[in-house]
């Protein structure tokens, strides 16, 4: 179903935001972008024929929905708050959809400020990595009001194959923490299994094709199994970023009294990879700890 064209903004043109904003423009929306590096905004504008603004507030001016995807809590506050921030430019009744992987606390904080100005906020972290963003098939975990989610979801469909309202504001970020906990544990299991298979002399292509159809199958196996065995780690979601995400989960787990013993061990493995120069390798690099 085709939806009506809207005036929207996208703040943050990193490896995720750049293609996400492009999908919105290609879907027929009038997109204005802001990026702290103007050169990146200029490149996006030239590629997608949208517009760019000098501040987040100017990008958000007159927009029905503003999307945001930056690095962390501090980055988020910098682009949302203040006289040049998103909320200063957004009209009353408009929606800020934040795709940053951040803390649940900052989501609740910003939602409260937005509400005081008669604006709306959804925390909406995504899963699917750089490839998912480029192909427009991200999964979005959302926290906020159901009515507001229903207004934003058809627009998010430009870059997402599935979006789910998880609960009130902050719930999207909590769900993303669970996602990160689960996937790094999956990657470690895959790394150990594939290292075992290589040392046993098994045919990796046949192995993956076979066990991928059974209980061991996963997205990680389908998309990273062969590249892990080839020691290729240039697929977007960097070790630096997963450790940032896990730190958020550990802080929340401390408050909840949740046990993340194994995940903390894996975080230590990623720390080793960083210290050995692999900080920009993707998360499948856990297998690099094993000798071939």
Give pTM, 2 decimals. Answer: 0.94
CB 124, CB 142: distance < 8 Å: yes
Nearest 5°: phi and psi at 94? -85, 170
Cβ of 6: how many Cβ atoms within 10 Å?
A: 17
CA distance 68 to 36: 13
The pLDDT, as a whole number, for residue 2 is 62
Residue ranges in 71-103 assigned as alpha helix (H): 73-80, 86-89
CA distance 14 to 9: 15
Cβ of 65: how many Cβ atoms within 10 Å?
A: 24
CA distance 10 to 17: 7
Q: Which one from 176, 244, 264, 271 is the annotated catalytic residue?
A: 176
**Residue 180 half-sphere exposure, CB side, CA atoms within 13 Å?**
31
The pLDDT, as a whole number, for residue 292 is 79
CA distance 147 to 154: 12
Cβ of 45: how many Cβ atoms within 10 Å?
A: 17
Residue the block writes with tokens 């100005």: 117
Query: How much is the CA Rg of the chain, to the nearest whole Å?
Result: 20
Residue the block writes with tokens 């996602």: 179
Residue ranges in 123-170 assigned as alpha helix (H): 129-135, 146-156
CA distance 39 to 171: 35
CA distance 61 to 222: 43
CA distance 135 to 183: 20
Instruction: Write out the chain's pLDDT in tens, 292 residues.
Output: 567 899 999 999 999 999 999 999 999 999 999 999 999 999 999 999 999 999 999 999 999 999 999 999 999 999 999 999 999 999 999 999 999 999 999 999 999 999 999 999 999 999 998 889 999 999 999 999 999 999 999 999 999 999 999 999 999 999 999 999 999 999 999 999 999 999 999 999 999 999 999 999 999 999 999 999 999 999 878 999 999 999 999 999 999 999 999 999 999 999 999 999 999 999 999 999 998 7
213: annotated active-site residue: no
Residue the block writes with tokens 């720390």: 271
CA distance 247 to 257: 15
Taking alpha carbons only, the member of 199, 122, 133 closest to residue 164 is 122
């Amino acid at each position: 179903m085709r939806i009506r064209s809207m005036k929207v903004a996208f703040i943050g043109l990193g490896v995720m935001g750049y293609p996400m904003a492009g999908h919105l423009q290609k879907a027929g929306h009038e997109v204005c972008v802001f990026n702290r590096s103007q050169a990146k905004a200029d490149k996006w504008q030239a590629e997608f024929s949208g517009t760019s603004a000098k501040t987040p507030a100017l990008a958000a001016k007159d927009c029905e929905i503003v999307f945001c995807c930056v690095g962390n809590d501090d980055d988020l506050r910098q682009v949302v708050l203040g006289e040049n921030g998103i909320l200063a430019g957004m009209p009353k009744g408009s929606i800020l959809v934040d795709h940053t992987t951040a803390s649940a606390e900052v989501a609740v904080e910003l939602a409260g400020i937005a509400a005081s100005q008669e604006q709306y906020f959804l925390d909406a972290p995504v899963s699917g990595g750089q490839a998912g963003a480029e192909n427009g098939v991200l999964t979005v975990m959302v926290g906020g009001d159901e009515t507001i989610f229903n207004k934003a979801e058809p627009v998010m469909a430009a870059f997402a194959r599935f979006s789910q309202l998880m609960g009130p504001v902050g719930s999207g970020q909590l769900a993303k923490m669970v996602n990160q906990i689960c996937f790094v544990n999956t990657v470690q299991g895959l790394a150990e299994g594939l290292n075992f298979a290589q040392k046993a002399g098994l045919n990796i292509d046949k192995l993956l094709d076979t066990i991928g159809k059974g209980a061991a199958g996963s997205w990680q196996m389908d998309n990273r199994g062969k590249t892990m065995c080839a020691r290729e780690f240039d697929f977007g979601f960097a070790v630096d970023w997963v450790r940032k995400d896990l730190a958020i989960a550990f802080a929340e787990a401390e408050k909840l009294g949740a046990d993340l013993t194994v995940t903390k061990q894996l975080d230590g493995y990623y720390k080793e990879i960083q210290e050995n120069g692999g900080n920009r390798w993707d998360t499948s690099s856990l297998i690099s700890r094993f000798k071939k």
